[in-house]
Amino acid sequence: MIKFNSKLGASELSIFTKMSAMATKYDAINLGQGFPNFDCDPHLKSLISKYLDLGKSQYALMSGVSELRYSIAAKCNQLYHRDLNPDSEITVTAGATQAIFTVLTAFVKAGDEVIVFDPAYDSYKPCIALHGAKTVVYELQAPDFKIDWQRFKSLTNNKTKMVIINNPHNPLGTTYSENDLLQLQEILSGTDIIVLSDEVYEHLVFDNCLHHSVLSYNDLFNRTLSVYSFGKTFHITGWKLGYCVGPEYLMSEFRKVHQWNVFSVNSFVQYAIAEYLGDESNYLTLSSFYEKKRNLFNNALKGSRWKALACKGTYFQLYDYSEISNLGDTEFAEWLVNKHGIASIPISVFFESKRQDNLIRFCFAKTDEVLVEAAEVLSNI
């Protein structure tokens, strides 16, 4: 056996893998995994067939097929009033996670520091570690998880290469306000700090609120690479299609890496999505679609011992279970799937400190029937 030093050291089994295995073992309702249990629009599938029949089966351009990049540019202009150059400021990627990894690879090196807001999406920190950089954690506090921007500023220094923001936020379901982005913009003014903005749930914002994208703020846009996901938007997570947006001088560096680790993304899906984006109702109705599911689930649990935290975006709902049990959240999640047949995700796994707030995450991107059935079980605990 050859000897080597692992770049990530000891790596535990992902909580998502663990909870899904338990859900299968106990034939549980899986509200843990963050993807829908329903199919995508049949029209979108018909467009896939259309472009396969048209022979769109060979390599696409490294930056993505032009039809899709121009459709993305039109959407960004309509929603965020950002006039993008489709040829130099947009790159199609093999999902958002690949885009995140590519951004970090392009700019982060050993000795750099990257600020991450905890609880954080679980791919950020391993990607930072792989590049020999240090994760600097800003730990958000329950129950509102608001950012104290002066405290954030105190974490920045001459080693800070990047800040990762996630808006709307997984797993919290919180969103950034206009004031949040203006304060971030002011604090970073005059620095060389790059922003990685994870906006994969941009179309899942509730209660008549708007998604405040970095694309709408000139100074922020000029230091940011923003990442988006068609998988999250169109219920097609397994298709692994996303895109990255940013100013040309940053995007050119992104593409230097992208061309060597992916080069191009499946062509026929790009053509299909490009045409599908032509009907704006395919993404503008998503907020109301998921808000109804959130409300259905939460209303079904009213009067129970579960306490819902505010969910302003994403398709994740946090619940406080402190009136039910004093178990740690991972142990409680295991008990819940074992004894009651409901799979969830404990929130402590998203914190570097593994802090306990007696919170678990349910995914409500499920059919109404599944949500009602799960809520009935949960209400009786």
Tokens 């405040």 sit at which residue?
212
Name the fold adopted by 15-40+284-379: Aspartate Aminotransferase, domain 1 (3.90.1150)
Give one word for 229, left, alpha or beta, with left for phi > 0 and alpha for psi -120 to 50. beta
Partner residues linked to 164 by β-bridges? 116, 196
Stated pTM of the model: 0.96
SS3 string of the chain? Answer: CCCCCCCCCCCCCCHHHHHHHHHHHCCCEECCCCCCCCCCCHHHHHHHHHHHHCCCCCCCCCCCCHHHHHHHHHHHHHHHCCCCCCCCCEEEECCHHHHHHHHHHHHCCCCCEEEEEECCCCCHHHHHHHCCCEEEEEECCCCCCCCCHHHHHHCCCCCEEEEEEECCCCCCCCCCCHHHHHHHHHHHCCCCCEEEEECCCCCCECCCCCCCCHHHCHHHHCCEEEEEEHHHHCCCHHHCCEEEECCHHHHHHHHHHHHHHCCCCCHHHHHHHHHHCCCCHHHHCHHHHHHHHHHHHHHHCCCCCCEECCCCECCEEEEECCCCCCCCHHHHHHHHHHHHCEECEEHHHHCCCCCCCCEEEEECCCCHHHHHHHHHHHHCC
Angle of helix 267-276 versus helix 66-80 axis, rounded to 10: 40
Q: Which of 92, 113, 95, 91 is nearest to 104 (CA)?
A: 113
Cα 9 to chain center, whole Å? Answer: 25
Q: Write down the CATH number for the domain with range 44-279.
A: 3.40.640.10
Q: Please, which residues have CB within 8 angstroms of residue 350's CB and are 6 or more apart in sequence?
A: 118, 119, 120, 121, 122, 171
Can you give the residue ranges of every domain in the chain?
15-40+284-379, 44-279
Cis peptide before 143 (omega within 30 of 0): yes
Q: Residue 332: count other Cβ atoms within 10 Å of its Cβ.
A: 21
Q: Which pair of structure tokens corresponds to residue 205? A: 């914002």
Q: Which residues contact 137 (CB under 8 A, 6 or more apart)?
A: 115, 116, 117, 118, 352, 353
Residue 11, pLDDT score: 64
What pLDDT is recorded for position 15?
84
| pLDDT in single tens digits along all 381 residues of the chain | 998 888 887 666 788 888 889 989 999 999 998 899 999 999 999 999 999 999 999 999 999 999 999 999 999 999 999 999 999 999 999 999 999 999 999 999 999 999 999 999 999 999 999 999 999 999 999 999 999 999 999 999 999 999 999 999 999 999 999 999 999 999 999 999 999 999 999 999 999 999 999 999 999 999 999 999 999 999 999 999 999 999 999 999 999 999 999 999 999 999 999 999 999 999 999 999 999 999 999 999 999 999 999 999 999 999 999 999 999 999 999 999 999 999 999 999 999 999 999 999 999 999 999 999 999 999 999
From residue 79, alpha-carbon distances to 73, 149, 180, 283, 303 in Å are 10, 26, 19, 11, 39
Residue type, 149: W
Buried b (16+ CB within 10 A) or exposed e, 184-220: bbebbeeeebbbbbbbbbbbbbbeeeebbbbbbbeeb
